[in-house]
Structure 1
Amino acid sequence: MTFVLWIGIIGTVIALAFAANAIRNLRISPFGHVANASRIHIPMAIAFVPLLWMIVAIKSL
């Protein structure tokens, strides 16, 4: 496996961890600064993963 593929795998794991932590924080407290940050982190992680794999696919060519 190439280095670029490992970067994609590790980046995906980190993005999923950010999204899971954001969902956990929203369940604990739906109000305040932490909830607003969580609402921002979820779509950013969702947008990051496909972009990351698009870059991995282009770099692998």
Structure 2
Amino acid sequence: MLDVEFNDWAGEPKGAPFLAWSEQRVYFPAAYDRSSWVGSAPRNPQADGQPHIGSW
């Protein structure tokens, strides 16, 4: 599924649901205002927290 191309500005969120872990990050699907992308967050809690996911 990670090799499937998608149009990131095409209406509904695209792509399959997923969670993926690396040694430092957790990756997940994100969407806002008809745009889709891969978001990530630290795998372990960070002193400075996690910024908002999405555009402002």
Higher-strand-fraction structure: 2
Q: When you count helix as a share of all residues, which structure comes out higher?
A: 1
- TM exceeding 0.5: no
Question: Which structure is richer in relative contact order (CA contacts within 8 A, separation 6 or more)?
Answer: 1
**Length-normalised TM-score, structure 2:** 0.26
Q: Provide the TM-score with structure 1 as the length reference.
A: 0.25
